[in-house]
Amino acid sequence: MSRPTPLRSLLAACALLPGAVLGAPFAYVPNEKSASVSVIDTATDTVVRTLPGGQRPRGIASDGRHLFH
């Protein structure tokens, strides 16, 4: 069996990246001082929505359908 070259390793890593990006299209960023959560589209790096987050939201988690804090 041949030893992997740096180019092969790079190509293998790049093949895995699109799946990771498609799996998590949004980032949820808590804004403690404004009591909100920004929803950021990671493909375009733009804020697509701002959600009310209660008093000082932190520790955001999502299961894909619900947002927990």
Looking at residue 24, what is its pLDDT?
66
Structural domain includes residue 7 = no
What is the pTM assigned to this prediction?
Answer: 0.58
pLDDT value at residue 44: 93
Is 15 a domain residue?
A: no
Question: Is the residue at 63 inside a domain?
Answer: yes
Q: Would 8 be classed as within a structural domain? A: no
3-state secondary structure of 64: coil
pLDDT of residue 21: 42
Q: Give the residue numbers spanning the domain of 33.
A: 24-68
Positions in the chain short of pLDDT 70? 1-24
Q: What is the CA radius of gyration of the chain?
A: 18
Residue 4 lies in a domain: no
- Is 61 among the domain residues? yes
53 touches 30 (CB < 8 A): yes
* Count of domains observed in the chain: 1
38 token code pair: 């920004």
pLDDT value, residue 23: 45
